[in-house]
Amino acid sequence: MEPFLYDLSRPGRRGVDMPDPDVPLTPLPAEYLRDDLPLPEINETEVVRHYIRLSQKNYAVDKGFYPLGSCTMKYNPKINERMARLPGFAQIHPLQDPTTVQGAMQLMYELQQMLAEIAGLAAVSLQPAAGAHGELSGVLIMRAAQVARGQGHRHKILVPDSAHGTNPASTTMSGLTVVEIPSGADGNVDIDALKAQLDDRVVGLMITNPSTLGLFEQHIVEVCRLVHEAGGFVYGDGANLNAIMGIARPGELGIDVLHFNLHKTFSTPHGGGGPGSGPVGVTAELADFLPGPIVAQNESGEYVWKMPVRSIGRVKAFHGNFGMHVRAYTYIRMHGAEGLRRVSEDAVLNANYLQALLKQRGDYPIPYGHRFCMHEFVAQGRIAGAEGVHTLDIAKRLIDYGFHPPTIYFPLIVPEALMIEPTETETQETLDAFADALTAIAQEARTDPERLHTAPHTAPVRRLDEVRAARQPILARVPGRQPA
Amino acid sequence: MRYTPHTDADRRAMMATIGIADVAELFADVPAAYRFPQLNLPAPLTEMEIARELEALAEENTSMGQVACFLGAGAYNHFIPAVVDVVISRSEFYTAYTPYQPEISQGTLQAMFEYQSMVAALTGMDAANASHYDGATAVAEAVIMALHTHRPPRKKVLLSPVLHPQYRAVVRTYTQGMGLRILGDEQPDTDFHALAALCDEETAVVVVQNPDFLGQLHSPAEMRDLAAAVHAHGALLAVSVDPISLGLFTPPGAYGADIVTAEGQALGNSLSFGGPYLGIFAFRHDLVRRSSGRLVGETVDLDGACGYVLTLSTREQHIRRGKATSNICTNQGLNALAAAVYLAVMGKHGLRKVAELCWHKAHYAADRIAALPGYEILAPKPFFKEFVVRCPRPVAEINRFLLDEYGIIGGYDLSQDYPHLGQAMLLCVTEMNTADEIEDLVQALSEVTESHLIPLEVVF
């Protein structure tokens, strides 16, 4: 048990010595000052040890396999980190005169161009800070474009039932109405259900392709055509772009707006929950609506800030998560076109290999296993002969075998879902070992289910009481105050 | 490629297991006409080559180590102890995902719980979330959270004109589909008293900044009056703060704020051309179920041992979907970790010392500039580390001179956002600015009045 940070505090200890003022002093205004500052007092050594011990309680990509579906937990190249920390990138102020930051602006400009090229779109804004932020931008773009077309009465956004929760949430935040479209038995969007909703109230469709079932939408071209014919736009959730770089360009398939997850596809680290980066790309028709400013080049070749003329506005202070732009730029430049296609091919190869192994062994149903998957696939934690065992138990037991569990209970349309995304950076040996672990767990489920119900057994803590955390929430402990 | 491990033999073996002869077969679902487009991207580079290229590109930028910086306006050059980068460079932290599996994420979860605790301590609020994207989106989320608290709905939002202009812009972007009336900032001189007078039974929330965008500190008494006026109409008060200022000054929790937001970059995060930063977001306890973003809560495991989990997730998009309090998923976790490490190592005394250094140096600089002919300090109230200087020449011209002749990055040009102030710049002085740098700045500014600029203009 690692002590709570404040428990390391002793009055009078110092973690940092700051210099004395080298200027004459100005009296402080007494009536403005706070009575007490309840921050801890800990020396540097103990602070470092506290955080290093905490770090050791984490699982991470650099420790092992992390097949968290929809999250693309690929290896994060170390050169990315070094490049983002170059003083010329890390120590520049966002409001400096553009003539003093031309290198940074060139990097952003080229990243805008390269992302547009990969997606087959005309223009990109790097401002959104995460995927959901790019989504919100994208929905606002579609809404603004409808208003500009004199179609401001349109208010429906169609969202397949397999979509990430951020899709309907972004729609609501944009003041629009979510209409859910069911998936067909083959995992594709149900075309008839789609047609039934396509009327003059539709702003657009949000589609994830490959879908969260890990399947390439076989009718994507027709789906986009139908939406366009009804006067709508098609938003592509780019969370799964890792499957299709150099395989297909969303813009050519009919997607009008797409967000990129630099922290998934382009190897920037997830940071234990962020920062991400969620640039948004659009067709030429929608380019004027992008959030901004974005980077443009003037006639003399200088990089300048430019606010798109009908921009939805600024979605963030300054220019986006630039440190993530540097990392993604590094990644793309090291791969080139062939390298990125190889990334997607190997991501899809790895997923299909693992799916094939699990199919052969037959312990876990794979509802769409008759199709080739893309970069991920969905199995079910329903083990014949072990009916009392659930996906949660299997996930927790995987921890004892040294793996991070897959995404569980998502997508919502597959009961007991185990959503498995191996990524391209894993070896065949790792995939074999993971399949072996799942097989062994299926055996245990039949012979010793209690071992699964009480898993994990080797983690820093046992299974945690999430109900208690929500019923009597304690979100902060400050000395001298009641826990709140 | 070094990051994709498969040999040709591996691929053949894997394809045999799948039952295919060529990887291309896996992509049969992609319409043939669109399959395998040729991407036009630059040729791939090795690590050695990309490093050389990016080092050259980085060299083209003027960075903090090469100049003296007096620019702030929402992003600040503060000291970052070495400890911070050591901790956030631990790949157990930076290569982990959002802690969905708490048993193997206790490092991240405990660090976030401690972050939330220190943010609560700093702001004087009951609780905090695990971060928003930045100071601007934190304000937008505060507005949306306030809207969610009102039944029947209230559609009016009041923004102070001295709330950061970019934050006000982001609030308008976020809420453009919500049919709101966003008022209060039409006249740049609307003070907090006048803002309170605009508050009525239709008003959901009043948002102010303290110290405000122009650096001015609003006293606890003034803030208490504002809170009382806002609360009298059943509206909420949201305050955007500079977290470093809270090392010295009364926290918003002590003067009646309902929601406190801040740009947290100043706490241990590098300038990084504007991001990644973090949005600090703290609130009263009774608002917790209306709050947005990830929350880490304390609980126990099967053996009764203390542990931490993500909690109250029924507010969030992955559960509540279209009815969630926000669409946010990924936040700025590693930046929040940097802020936590910064607060832990700076501690009670260090943060106060940083704030005092800012205060003394900024006031010394202001006193010296005030003594220069042609310059006027526009600071009717006390200020913290930023202040407005009215200048004898256009600010863009002065800044060009400072940079070219003295290697100084001057202040933020206020002429676009606050034209009523005239030729005014917002100067920022932190603990990083030495007495010598301040001396140089004063010297340079004095030369501007002696018409050194004219030959420069002729050259251009």
Q: Is B314 helix (H, G, I), strand (E, B) or coil?
A: helix
Nearest CB among A4, A86, A314 relative to B169 is that of A314
**One-letter identity of residue A377:** F
pLDDT grade, residue A185 (50/70/90)?
A: confident
Q: Under the phi-then-psi rule, with left for phi > 0, alpha for psi from -120 to 50, and beta for the rest, what region is B71?
A: beta
Q: B404: which strand partners? A: none
pLDDT value of position B317: 85
pLDDT grade, residue B316 (50/70/90)?
A: confident
Q: Which residues in chain B are contacts of A463 at CB distance < 8 A?
A: 103, 301-302
Q: What is the pLDDT of residues B342-372, one digit of tens each?
A: 999 999 999 999 999 999 999 999 999 999 9
Q: What is the mean pLDDT of residues B393-399?
A: 97
> Do the chains contact at B350 and A15, CB–CB below 8 Å?
yes
| B residues 252-291 closer than 8 Å to A (CB) | 254, 263, 270-278, 285, 288
Beta-sheet strands, E only, within A135-212? 156-160, 177-181, 202-208
Q: Evaluate whether A312 touches A141 at the Cβ level (below 8 Å).
A: yes
Q: B296: which strand partners? A: B310
**Token representation of residue A402:** 């040294």
pLDDT surpasses 90 at A200? yes
Mean pLDDT, chain A, rounded, equals 97
Q: Evaluate whether B124 touches B284 at the Cβ level (below 8 Å).
A: no
Judging by DSSP bridges, how do beta strands B376-378 and B386-390 pair with one another? Answer: antiparallel
Rounded to whole angstroms, the Cα distance separating B103 from A368 reads 31
Distance from the Cα of residue A158 to its chain's centroid: 21
Q: Evaluate whether A373 touches A240 at the Cβ level (below 8 Å).
A: no
- For residue B426, give how far its alpha carbon lies from the nearest alpha carbon of chain A (Å): 12
pLDDT value of position A315: 98
Q: What is the mean pLDDT of residues B64-80?
A: 98
| B residues 284-323 closer than 8 Å to A (CB) | 285, 288, 294-303, 305-309, 311-314, 316-323
Q: A378: which strand partners? A: A419
CA distances from B311 to A364, B102, B138, B316, B389 (A): 30, 11, 20, 10, 47
Q: What is the pLDDT of residues B4-51, one digit of tens each?
A: 999 999 999 999 999 999 999 999 999 999 999 999 999 999 999 999
Give the count of alpha carbons within 13 A of A335, CB side only: 27
| B residues 106-125 closer than 8 Å to A (CB) | 106-108, 110-114, 116-122, 124
Q: Which residues in chain B are contacts of A360 at CB distance < 8 A?
A: 17
Q: A207: which strand partners? A: A236
Q: What is the pLDDT of residues B245-276, one digit of tens each?
A: 999 999 999 999 999 999 999 999 999 999 99
pLDDT grade, residue A13 (50/70/90)?
A: very high
- Burial-class residue A198 by CB neighbours within 10 Å (0-12, 13-18, 19+): middle
pLDDT value of position B451: 58
B174 and A CB contact within 8 Å: yes
A307 and B CB contact within 8 Å: no
Q: Which residue of A has its CA nearest to B323?
A: A169
pLDDT surpasses 80 at B167? yes
Mean pLDDT, chain B, rounded, equals 96
Q: Which residue of B has its CA nearest to A155?
A: B177
Q: Which residue of B has its CA nearest to A49?
A: B87
> Do the chains contact at B248 and A336, CB–CB below 8 Å?
no
Q: What is the pLDDT of residues B397-439, one digit of tens each?
A: 999 999 999 999 999 999 999 999 999 999 999 999 999 999 9
pLDDT grade, residue B314 (50/70/90)?
A: confident
**B202 Cβ neighbours under 8 A, 6+ residues apart:** B154, B155, B156, B181
Q: What is the pLDDT of residues A161-179, one digit of tens each?
A: 988 999 999 999 999 999 9
**One-letter identity of residue A374:** M
Q: Which pTM was predicted?
A: 0.97
B394 and A CB contact within 8 Å: no
Rounded to whole angstroms, the Cα distance separating A271 from A284 reads 34
Nearest CB among A54, A349, A476 relative to B117 is that of A476
H or E segment and range at residue A253? helix A250-253
Q: What is the mean pLDDT of residues B93-105?
A: 97
| A residues 185-214 closer than 8 Å to B (CB) | none
Beta-sheet strands, E only, within A192-307? 202-208, 233-237, 257-259, 280-282, 294-297, 303-306
Q: Evaluate whether B427 touches B370 at the Cβ level (below 8 Å).
A: no
CA distances from A236 to A197, A211, A254, A281, B29 (A): 18, 10, 9, 10, 17
- For residue A184, give how far its alpha carbon lies from the nearest alpha carbon of chain B (Å): 16
Q: What are phi and psi of A74, to 5 degrees?
A: -85, 170
Worst-scoring range by mean pLDDT, A48-57, B224-233, B321-330?
Answer: B321-330
ipTM of the complex: 0.98
Q: Is B333 helix (H, G, I), strand (E, B) or coil?
A: helix
**A209 Cβ neighbours under 8 A, 6+ residues apart:** A216, A217, A220, A236, A237, A240, A244, A250, A253, A255
pLDDT value of position B459: 40
A453 and B CB contact within 8 Å: no
Rounded to whole angstroms, the Cα distance separating A421 from A413 reads 18
**A335 Cβ neighbours under 8 A, 6+ residues apart:** A342, A343, B1, B44
**Token representation of residue B266:** 């100043």
- Burial-class residue A298 by CB neighbours within 10 Å (0-12, 13-18, 19+): exposed
**Token representation of residue A217:** 């939408």
Nearest CB among A86, A135, A244 relative to B54 is that of A86
Q: What are phi and psi of A435, to 5 degrees?
A: -60, -40
> Do the chains contact at B127 and A218, CB–CB below 8 Å?
no
pLDDT grade, residue B452 (50/70/90)?
A: low
> Do the chains contact at B320 and A466, CB–CB below 8 Å?
no
Q: Evaluate whether B322 touches A172 at the Cβ level (below 8 Å).
A: yes
- For residue B437, give how far its alpha carbon lies from the nearest alpha carbon of chain A (Å): 11
Q: What is the pLDDT of residues B185-213, one digit of tens each?
A: 999 999 999 999 999 999 999 999 999 99
- For residue B451, give how far its alpha carbon lies from the nearest alpha carbon of chain A (Å): 22
- State the best of B23, B61, B164, B441 to mutate against chain A, taking most chain A CBs within 10 Å: B61
Nearest partner of A65 among B5, B10, B2, judged by Cα? B5
pLDDT surpasses 70 at B455? no
B80 and A CB contact within 8 Å: no
Alpha helix stretches (DSSP H) within B43-90: 47-59, 82-88
Q: What is the mean pLDDT of residues A453-479?
A: 96
- Token look-up 């980068």 returns B85
pLDDT surpasses 50 at B460? no
Q: Is B9 helix (H, G, I), strand (E, B) or coil?
A: helix
B44 and A CB contact within 8 Å: yes
Distance from the Cα of residue A265 to its chain's centroid: 9
- For residue B171, give how far its alpha carbon lies from the nearest alpha carbon of chain A (Å): 8
pLDDT grade, residue B450 (50/70/90)?
A: low
Percent of chain B's residues with pLDDT above 90: 94
Q: What are phi and psi of B202, to 5 degrees?
A: -90, -10
Rounded to whole angstroms, the Cα distance separating A438 from A366 reads 13
Nearest partner of A288 among A136, A144, A108, A152, judged by Cα? A144
B307-329: buried (b, 16+ CB within 10 Å) or exposed (e) per residue?
bbbbbbbebbbbebbbebbbbbb
B457 vs B387 pLDDT, higher one = B387
> Do the chains contact at B34 and A253, CB–CB below 8 Å?
yes
pLDDT surpasses 70 at B454? no
Rounded to whole angstroms, the Cα distance separating A246 from A344 reads 8
Q: Which residues in chain B are contacts of A484 at CB distance < 8 A?
A: 120, 126-127, 285
